[in-house]
Amino acid sequence: MPVRYRRASRTVWRNAHGTVLVLPTESNDVLALIGTGAQLWQLLSEPLTVDQAARQLAEVYDRSPEVITPDIAPVLDDLATRGVLDRLVSA
């Protein structure tokens, strides 16, 4: 069952000049996502699997999804652990 990720509705965030600033609900630490991270955050307005996100970023950055997947998988997992993304498991 593939896991899909999406921005958690309770997460406060702002896009400021190409940098996405995210405030986890359980922390006072502000996360700053730049470059590909900011683009990934924008994609996560809709639930996506790691592979779906990698394919979309591959189109934007003219790279292979196979190159992008190992880079974004730990980022998605970390953001979900911090509570700023929801993990959705399909049944």
- Map tokens 């996100």 to a residue: 53
Measured in whole angstroms, how far is the alpha carbon of residue 76 from the centre of its chain?
A: 5
Strands 19-23 and 85-89: unpaired
Q: What is the pLDDT of residue 43?
A: 97
- Map tokens 């880079």 to a residue: 71
Please state, in angstroms and rounded to a whole number, the distance separating the CA atoms of residues 12 and 68: 26
SS3 72: helix
- The tokens describing 23, both together, are 């405030």
CATH of domain 3-84: 1.10.10
What value does the mean pLDDT of the chain take? 93
What are the domain boundaries of the chain?
3-84
Q: What is the pLDDT of residue 50?
A: 97
pLDDT, mean of residues 29-39:
94
- The tokens describing 14, both together, are 């702002």
